[in-house]
Chains A and B, each alone.
Chain A
Amino acid sequence: MTPGSSVPGPRAPGAVEAEPDEAADVGELIAAYPGLRIDHDNERWYAGLLARRLLIRACTSCGLHHHPPRPVCPGCWSTALVDRESRGTGVVEASTTFRQVDPYGLDDGASPGGRMAVTVRLDEQDVRLTGPVRAGAAAGIGERVRLGWARRGPAPFPVFEPESR
C-alpha cells in the first residue's frame, strides 16, 4: 500500500491525428445517429463517420490498435491514444446474412434474400470491424473488401463492398 494511489486523470483520448474537419459536438452526433449508444469513448468514432472517415483508435505508447474505442489501451494501459484514419480495406474473416430483419436501416436499396454483414480484418490496422455489406452485394470469407458509404437517416454510414465489384 502506498499513499496517494489515486492517479491523475488520463488525457481525454483526443488528439485525433486524422482530425475530422467537422469536429461535431456530441449532441449533433446523438441526433445524427439515432438509436446508437454514443458516449465519450466512442464520440470520435461517430464524428469520423459523420465526416465519412473511418477512425481507428491507436495507442501511441505501444502501437496497438483496438476497436471499439476504449479510454485506455487494452494492451499497455496507456491513455496516450489517438484516432487514425483507415482506408478501410481488408479481408472478410466471418459473415452472416440477416434473413428476417435488416438492423442497419440504410437507404442503399434492396437486399433480396437479406442484408449481409461481415467481420473484416483491416489491412492497415490489426483490428477486426463488423459492419454491413452494401445492399445487393455479397462478400464471402477470404474475399477482399473496401469501404463505401451509404446513408442511415440523416448521416453517412460505412458499408463494405467487394473489391472485385
Chain B
Amino acid sequence: MTARHPLQDRVAIVGVGSTGFARSHPGRSLLSLVAEAARAAIADAGVDRSEIDAACGIAPYVPGWFGVPPQLLAEALGLRLDHLSFDPPPIGYSLVSAVHAVAAGSCRTALVYNGVYRSGALSRSAARDPVRRQHGPPADVGYGLLSRVDVAAAATAYFAGTGTSRLDLARVVLNARSAAAGNELAALRDPLTLDEYLAAPMVRDPLTVLDCDLPVDGAEAFVVTGAERARDLTDRRVLVHAVTLATRRAGPAWPGVTGSAQQVAMDSLRERSELWIDDVDVCFPYDGFSIMALGSLEAMGYCPPGEVPGLLADSWSEDDGSLRLRGRVPVNPHGGSLAEGGSQGAGHLREAVRQLTGTAGARQVPGAGVAIVAPGGFTNAQGMILRRDDL
C-alpha cells in the first residue's frame, strides 16, 4: 500500500449487470432499464438486496436529459440506503463515490449504475416517441453540442501538429467494429470497411457520424463492496487498485488533445498505482469520440506525445482489423462506445470486470489480470487500474 493511495486494493467489484445495447427499447422507461441492470448485478454478486445500502448513479449532464436518481431506484427496488450520490458522467464519478463510501465505512455494499436513453434531439427514431420528445438539451445551445465543436477543433489542431489523419481515426473505429462483432451486447455488430468509414457523413470536420459514440438505450450496474466481504462472496472478484478523477480547462476554454484532462487523470493514476502499462493485459481508452481514444492512449504513455499515428500503425493487424498494443494488448475488446453503444464509460468498466473475472466468453483475453480504464475526454477525465484479486 502506498501512502499516496491508501485505498489501494481495499474495495472490490463483485457483480455486473447489463441490459446490453443490441435492441432499442422504444416503449420502456429509463428506470426499467436501470432496474433490470441493477437486479442482474445484485444477482451476479450473490448478495441479498438487504445488503445493498448505497446507490451511486449517473445524472443527466445537460438540463432536461434523462437520469434515474438513486432515491427513485431505491423506491422502485425496495432498497434502504444510507449513502447515495447522483453524479455527472462519465461512470468514474459514481464508482469513486462508492469506493470512497465503502472504504470509509459509510456503507457496506454499493450499487453503481448508469442508464442511457436516446433523446429526441440525437436520434430520429427516438424523436418518434412523444415521451422522449419532451426531453433533451435546449434547442439553442447545449453543453453537449458545444463540446462537439471543441472536440472537432481539438482534432484538427492535433492533426496539424502531429501528422495524424482520418486514417488514424479509422483504425480506432474499425477496431471497435471488429471487436463488437463478438459482443452480444453491442449495438453495431456489422463489419465496417475503410472505404465505408471514409465515405461516412461528415458531422463537423474532421469527425464523421462514425467518429461519435452511438446513442443507445440501456443500463449498466455494478456491485461494489469491501475486499474482505468480497472474498466471502466469490472467487471471481476485481479489486480497484487505483482510481482517479480529473479536470483541466473545463468550460469554454479550448482543450487540446495533448496535455488535456486525460493526461491529468493518467498522471495521478500512475502516482497511485503500483501497476502500469507494462502490467496491463487489456486496455480501455475512452472513445466517446474517436479522437478521444488517441488522446487517451497517448496519456497512458503507450507513445510519446504526438506519436499516436506510429503507435496505431505498429499495433494494427490488417488480418482481423484490430489493434493490439505492443502486439499483445487488445483495445476496447467489447467495441467501446463507438460500436457497443455510448454508455459514458460504463460499458468499458463492465467489459474490464468481465475480462478480469474470466467471463468475457469468446472475447476473453487469456489470463487477463490487469486492466486500465480511462473514461472521459479532454476536459473531464478519469482513470482506473483494476486487477484480479488472486494474482
- Chain A positions near chain B (C-beta within 8 angstroms): 1-3, 5-7, 9-10, 12, 25-27, 30, 37-41, 43, 70-72, 74-75, 77
Contact = CB atoms under 8 A, between A and B. Distances in A.
Contacts of B130: 25-27, 30
Contacts of A71: 28-29, 31-32, 35, 76
Nearest to A25: B130
> Most chain-B CB neighbours within 10 Å: which of A6, A26, A37, A40?
A6
B23 A9 contact: yes
B77 A9 contact: no
B75 interface: yes
Given A1-B234, A1-B359, A39 B44 contact: no
> Most chain-A CB neighbours within 10 Å: which of B40, B185, B353, B361?
B40
Given A1-B16, A6-B18, A74 B76 contact: yes
B260 interface: no
Contacts of A2: 44, 359
Given A1-B15, A1-B44, A72-B35, 20 more contacts: A1-B16, A1-B237, A1-B357, A2-B359, A5-B15, A5-B17, A5-B40, A6-B185, A7-B17, A12-B27, A12-B28, A26-B129, A30-B130, A30-B134, A40-B28, A40-B29, A70-B76, A72-B36, A72-B39, A77-B39
A43 to B, nearest CB: 8
B333 to A, nearest CB: 15
Contacts of A7: 17, 36, 39-40, 43
5 contacts: A1-B357, A9-B28, A39-B29, A41-B31, A74-B78
Which DSSP category, helix, strand, loop or mixed, fits chain A's interface?
loop
Nearest to A40: B29
Interface residues of B, number: 40
A41 B361 CA distance: 34
Interface of B: 14-20, 23, 25, 27-29, 31-32, 35-37, 39-41, 43-44, 49, 75-78, 129-131, 134, 185, 234, 236-237, 353-354, 357, 359, 361
Contacts of A38: 131, 134
B32 A40 contact: yes
Nearest to A12: B27
A30 B131 contact: yes
Nearest to A68: B75
Contact of A74 (B43, B77, B129): B77
> Most chain-A CB neighbours within 10 Å: which of B18, B37, B129, B131?
B131
B32 A5 contact: no
Contacts of A70: 31, 35, 75-76
Contacts of A9: 19, 23, 25, 28, 36
A5 B29 contact: no
A130 to B, nearest CB: 15
Nearest to A72: B35
Contacts of A12: 27-28
B131 to A, nearest CB: 5
Nearest to B16: A5
A39 B127 CA distance: 14
Nearest to A6: B18
A3 B359 contact: yes
Contact of A1 (B14, B23, B78): B14
B19 A40 contact: no
A75 B49 CA distance: 11
Contacts of B15: 1, 5
> Most chain-A CB neighbours within 10 Å: which of B15, B36, B43?
B36
B78 A6 contact: no
A5 B44 contact: yes
> Most chain-B CB neighbours within 10 Å: which of A10, A27, A30, A39?
A39
A117 B78 CA distance: 27
B86 to A, nearest CB: 17
A6 B40 contact: yes
B73 to A, nearest CB: 10
A82 B58 CA distance: 30
A147 B19 CA distance: 40
Given A39-B131, A71-B28, A3 B361 contact: yes
> Most chain-A CB neighbours within 10 Å: which of B19, B43, B76?
B76
Contacts of A25: 130
